[in-house]
Amino acid sequence: MLEAILPNIGVDEDEATDTAGNLALSQVDVESKDGLAHMGWLLNRDTNAVDIHLPINEFAATHLAILASTGSGKSYTAGVLMEEMMMPDSRASLLVFDPHGEYDSLGEMRGSETFSGDGYQPEIEYFSPENLRIRISELSVGDVMSILDNPSDRMQERLDGGWRAMQRRESRTWGIDELLREMRNQYGEDDSSVGALEWRLRRSIQRNDLFTTDANVPLDDLVSPGRCTVLQMDTLDSRDQQMIATVLLRRLYQACLAAVRNRGDDPNYDGEVIEHPLFSLFEEGHRFAPAAGDAPSLGIMRTITSEGRKFGFGIGIISQRPSKIDPDVLSQCGTQVTMQIKNPEDQKAIRTSVEAAGEEVLRELPGLTPGQAVVSGDAMNTPVLIQVRERHTEHGADSIPATSQWRKAHEKRSQTPTKSESADMGGGESSGTEDLL
């Protein structure tokens, strides 16, 4: 079955050689591999017979989707691409939203010869939720509405008035107390809607460790050329993950926009400026840009995928449920790496949003094994079926082999006497009964 795809999609080795360097297919002996990510090789050729490179500039500008069922190799492939982007030739500025702690092993790149050259070494930084707290004044009124559970129309009106007044203030370190004072000034001391809001605001924002009145992490600490920053979000629930993504992405987008508009030279501009392109990768992409529900992050994800190209802000969406990703966001991803997909709903989502996915590509998807992928999209003249290369760094999310782990744990337990056994042998604490006898 796998053999059938190459003739169908019309790839041959001559074409691969001819297009080396500027299109995705290239032989391993291309003269310069600058800006090319070595992903693997054509599947039904010998290992490395026809190497496949993906132009980083292309997918970093027009976005990327890595889609497959669980266990098919999405995170592994994302790891391969990140390794390539952090090589001395590219020195990318990467930001990874990692809801499962799957990218801890990327730290192996630090000091590794494979990733060093010309005095360059990649920096790999990890940020835990304590470093990612959100400054309250950075929330939009829409964010606050989505945090509070179903505020009434009157409450929304009060909040809108109060929030807008606070945002006009010069100070950005205000909190819920100041906001409540402002709303009481505007609507009266005894306004019942402000009273009802007070309880909700204190419970959902003031007493939630995620929010702070202090300054938040400077963007320069988060993103920089030659730095891969992993946001470790595995201890947060999905709503908090979405909220961090919303506020961070908005700040990053504004800062990229400011650079393009030369705001950095404007003495009246006191916002942040990011002068280099960014690429941000989202594990569980459907969580940040869902097809259904009211995720606060969806708006900014749509904005970046439709406008980010002009501002040097690229996004990579990884998901095991393509049918649960917002179709606008998915269809803006110009390069697709699709691996094994069996679920008919997800196949349908790929058919409708991935332009290059012809019937012959879709037919192959259920039969792929882990590490095999169809690469398609703007960067490719034709979809290709590839074997993704091995990682240089260890993969951080290998499946846990249940049977061997059970056996090991059982053997260990059999060798360690239980509390009651050890008590029987006289090794346990006195039960108290002994004293009575």
Ligand X SMILES: Nc1ncnc2c1ncn2[C@@H]1O[C@H](COP(=O)(O)OP(=O)(O)OP(=O)(O)O)[C@@H](O)[C@H]1O
The footprint of Mg ion (CB under 5 A) covers 75
Tokens of 305: 């995928």
Using the rule CB under 6 A, is 195 a contact of ligand X? no
- Please say which residue, 62 or 75, places its beta carbon nearer to Mg ion: 75
Short-list 143, 80, 146, 91, CA closest to 116: 91
Coil, helix or strand for 427? coil
Q: Which residue, 70 or 268, has its beta carbon nearer to ligand X?
A: 70
Applying CB under 6 A, the site for ligand X has a residue count of 17
By the rule CB under 6 A, 370 interacts with ligand X:
yes
Residue whose CB is less far from ligand X, 101 or 370: 370
275 in Cβ contact with 264 (< 8 Å): yes
Smallest distance from ligand X to CB 362, Å: 18
Least spacing, CB of residue 102 vs Mg ion, in Å: 5
Within 8 A by CB and 6+ apart from 401, the residues are none
Q: Which is nearer to ligand X, 166 or 233 (CB)?
A: 233
Closer to ligand X by CB, 259 or 397: give it: 397
Q: Which of 42, 43, 52, 68 binds ligand X (CB under 6 A)?
A: 68
Q: Which residues contact 188 (CB under 8 A, 6 or more apart)?
A: 194
Residues 228 and 378: their CA atoms lie apart, in Å, by: 25
Query: Minimum distance from CB of 428 to ligand X (Å)?
Result: 42
Looking up tokens 């891969």, which residue turns up?
228
Residue 386 has φ and ψ, to the nearest 5°, of -130, 160
Binders of ligand X among residues 379 to 398 (CB under 6 A) are 388, 390, 395, 397-398
Q: Who contacts 288 (Cβ-Cβ below 8 Å, separation ≥6)?
A: 97, 241, 242, 245, 282, 295, 297, 298, 301
Least gap, CB of 212 to ligand X (angstroms): 31
Which is nearest to 365 in space by CA: 388, 389, 348, 390?
348
Please identify, using beta-carbon distances, which residue of 98 and 143 lies nearer to Mg ion.
Answer: 98
Q: How far is the CB of 83 from ligand X (least distance, A)?
A: 12
What's the closest the beta carbon of residue 120 comes to ligand X, in angstroms?
26
Interface of this chain with ligand X, residues 320 to 359, rule: CB under 6 A:
320
Which of 35, 73, 107, 277 forms a contact with ligand X (CB under 6 A)? 73
User: β-strands 372-377, 335-338: how paired?
Assistant: antiparallel
Residues found near ligand X in the complex (CB under 6 A): 68, 70-76, 320, 370-371, 388, 390, 395, 397-399
